[in-house]
A and B are shown apart, each in its own frame.
Chain A
Amino acid sequence: YLIPLSSSHYPVNQTTMHRPSLSACQLILRSFGRSGGNIVASRRFASSMNVRDALNSAMREEIERDPNVFLMGEEVAQYEGAYKVSKGLWKLMGDKRVIDTPITEMGFAGLAVGAAMAGLRPICEFMTFNFSMQAIDHVINSAAKTYYMSAGDVKVPIVFRGPNGAAAGVAAQHSQDFASWYSHCPGLKVVSPWNSEDARGLLKAAIRDNDPVVCLENEMMYGVSFEVSPECESKDFLIPIGKAKIEIPGNHISLISYGKFVGLCVEAAAELAKEGIQCEVLNLRTLRPLDEEAIVKSVMKTHHVVTVESCWPQCGMGAEIAARIMESQAFDYLDAPLTRMTGADVPMPYAQALEAAALPQVADIVRVVRRTLNRAAK
């Protein structure tokens, strides 16, 4: 049956405002370096912060807080980070706490895991997660499994972090989304921040966690600014690992995503709101363990679901979410099958139009939502 779209909870004209959730609101801003941007001040918020600064401040505070925490990776110290995420840290903390490694991922990831086994708390940066494939044996066999194999004798309190997924025009070997590979493995906790609040809270929680945590960031988000709440600026601001966040509540369809693609869902939701379609945008924040409760609750409310990611379709995050919904009570509440929007099942091409066609875009999400809701294509 058709969904009554006239009884929308939200005024149709307000495209970017959304209702406050229990935690502080966020007004989403897009300020890209090249185009400059307008920063709209809001009375409710302390300040604006981009994702890069969120990560930077999180690391700085955690290194200051705990003498066992240190950062190691390629170009993190004197170069200030390939993407400037660790800007200023080496000048402040010195050689002992911020360490440049040779270009030997397998070696330095293994070294970092060994240091964690011996009681330190390394932050091991991969310049991008594509290079983590060279070291993946250490992430899985040395880090993830050791607490279990040792029956609780040896802890591995390490964080592996870095950019994940596609950037812009970096082609096939530099564009893979590893969400599905890492979230497959027991023993790991896997988080993927979208905005600045996510970045600060999740990275701090990851560093303070006594288990190996993989933190999948996105290079394209580093320069994006968000308003952050005063709580977010606190040195002890932590986001619980394993809890998703409803960025925009809605009654008609659940858009479930993580990382950069949450932003696309938010944009699609704004566009769809103009025609009275209320999307609920669920930001997973943690990929392992998934917040299954939040997923099920959302789908039971909206009866329709679309997942959005940049992993390839087979064995991707959407596949997992589909299976979980099937297994849960939400199955009986579905009015349409789940649609998973994913990266196209090809290695990432270089040419711009091909690259754009290889990933879900806002217009694609809008089209798929209408289709799921049996609305006519525009």
Chain B
Amino acid sequence: MPLSSSAIRANLLLLRGGGGLFVSSRLASSAVLSTRPYKLHKLESGPASEAQVTSDEARKYYRDMATVRRMETAAGNLYKEKAIRGFCHLYSGQEACCVGMEAVLDRNDPVITAYRAHGWTYTRGVPVKAVLSELTGRASGCAKGKGGSMHMYNHNFYGGNGIVGAQVPLGAGIAFAQKYREDKRVCVTLYGDGAANQGQVFEAFNMAKLWDLPCIFVCENNKYGMGTAVERAAASTAYYTRGDYIPGLWVDAMDVITVREATRFAKDWCLSGKGPILLEMETYRYHGHSMSDPGTSYRTREEVQSMRQMRDPIASFRQTLLTAELVAEEELKEIDQSVRKEVDEAVQAAKTNAVPDPKELYTNVYSQPPSGQPNYRIRGIDQFTWSAN
């Protein structure tokens, strides 16, 4: 990330003892970093071009992105070992989006996304162990093994949705509930470049704008809807303008601070009662659409390699932190090791933890039995097979 020479301001000397940390007397406790340029749609002004980042924040963002990356790599390996079945859509390359947004959101701001959800599931507070166990179908999974890759939830995290675009009206509805209850919160509703052409997305935009819903619509544009490049699917690929009457921002989402400041701008916008706003996060996924897709039939290996080498969000943030002397290289290495340990332990648990009890087949169909049938039983595969009561 380019830094203007005047942007480096070392405020304090950071001194720490013990713990094996190598301390440089030149480390800053915060720095001002510049954001990458934004593009505006129906907005007079945009997010800040500079932002102050403390070393604590820097470590957290780095750690969270590194965790998501390693978790997704582990998921890919588990899939190849056939420990994960069905669909598995990896988020590798897009880490700056979820981590950058979460830097401004808090746990009271609900989030809803589609099926490329593992990164968000983690930043929404589900531990790596619970994510990977859900993927391997264990009882310790965050949905007890009953949801799988596309159906992970947590407090104020509404999944994890398998039907392309369906989450967008749902998200508008969550924002509607917040406005109804006069909660001062925003709902973040994510969708991809593929979903951006869905009719229901425009229906949601219409109602959100009509009723001034506090909804931040976020298009995670990773350039490909499954195997179809954006130019082949969309008459207009300027996704940040496709909210039409909804103001929009284009964001270079390969930089976590750029994402963070855009989110801060968007949250302020919604909370000041100006209605919805649309963010296009231009990003990239290294893997194919899912584990069934090698991801090389519709794009060149050179393209993927070049993104990894030149625009990787974690590597570039790492470089920025070192250049700004916000975090020492040794600390970053320690973070890497700690993340590796955490993910390795989670993988072990995901491989060895217990599978769900067979009776879980029949649980959670209804939240309460039908009022006229308190002993309601659920039928199994034939008339002799029933849930226990």
Contacts and interface: CB of A to CB of B under 8 A. Distances in A.
A binds B: yes
A152 B147 contact: no
A245 B127 CA distance: 50
Contacts of A142: 161, 163, 166, 170
A205 B371 CA distance: 8
Interface in B336-389: 360, 363-368, 370-373, 376, 378, 383
Given A101-B207, A108-B207, A114-B177, A240 B372 contact: yes
A60 interface: no
A362 interface: no
Given A118-B174, A243-B373, A111 B368 contact: no
B144 interface: yes
Nearest to A108: B207
A343 interface: no
Nearest to B384: A327
A104 interface: yes
Contacts of A217: none
B203 interface: yes
B147 A104 contact: no
Interface stretch (B40-48, B83-91, B151-159): B151-159
B176 to A, nearest CB: 5
Contacts of A110: 166, 168-170, 172-173, 200, 203-204
Interface string A145-162: 001111111110000000
Given A147-B366, A286-B372, A138 B174 contact: no
B166 A137 contact: yes
A240 B112 CA distance: 35
A4 to B, nearest CB: 34
A110 to B, nearest CB: 3
A113 B173 contact: yes
A107 interface: yes
A286 B207 contact: no
Contact of B153 (A150, A189, A238, A240): A150
A52 B180 CA distance: 28
A107 B206 contact: yes
A112 B370 contact: no
Given A147-B365, A205-B371, A210-B367, A114 B203 contact: no
B372 A241 contact: yes
Contacts of A107: 169, 172, 200, 202-204, 206-207
A36 interface: no
A70 B176 CA distance: 12
Nearest to B175: A114
B206 A117 contact: no
Contact of A148 (B110, B168, B365): B365
B180 A115 contact: yes
Contacts of A239: 372
Contact of B173 (A115, A149, A152, A186): A115
A348 B163 CA distance: 32
A272 B161 CA distance: 54
B328 to A, nearest CB: 41
A141 interface: yes
A107 B206 CA distance: 9
A114 B176 contact: yes
A151 B206 contact: no
Q: Interface residues of B: mostly helix, strand, loop or mixed?
A: loop
A148 B364 contact: yes
A96 to B, nearest CB: 7
B69 interface: no
Nearest to A188: B366
A240 B370 contact: yes
A120 interface: yes
B282 to A, nearest CB: 26
Contacts of A114: 112, 158, 169-177
B31 interface: no
A241 B203 contact: no
Nearest to A189: B370
B210 interface: yes
B166 A108 contact: no
Contact of A189 (B112, B175, B203, B366): B366
A247 interface: no
Given A106-B199, A186-B365, A150 B169 contact: no
A88 interface: no
B146 interface: yes
A209 interface: yes
A211 B366 contact: yes
Interface in A155-190: 155, 186-187, 189
Contacts of B160: 149
Contacts of A153: 143, 153-154
Contacts of B172: 107, 110-111, 114
B207 A149 contact: no
Contacts of B168: 110
Interface centre among A108, A110, A189, A241 (most CB of B within 10 A): A110
Given A108-B207, A110-B204, A289 B163 contact: no
Contact of B367 (A113, A152, A327): A152
Interface of A: 70, 96, 101-102, 104, 106-120, 137-138, 141-142, 147-155, 186-187, 189, 205, 209-211, 238-243, 286, 289, 291, 327
Given A107-B207, A114-B177, 6 more contacts: A114-B112, A115-B173, A118-B158, A151-B363, A152-B363, A240-B370
Interface of B: 110, 112, 143-144, 146-147, 151, 153-154, 158-163, 166, 168-178, 180-181, 199-200, 202-204, 206-207, 210, 360, 363-368, 370-373, 376, 378, 383
26 contacts: A101-B207, A106-B199, A107-B169, A108-B203, A111-B172, A113-B173, A114-B169, A114-B171, A114-B173, A114-B174, A114-B175, A114-B177, A117-B158, A118-B173, A118-B174, A118-B178, A120-B181, A138-B170, A142-B166, A151-B147, A153-B154, A154-B158, A154-B159, A209-B368, A242-B373, A242-B376
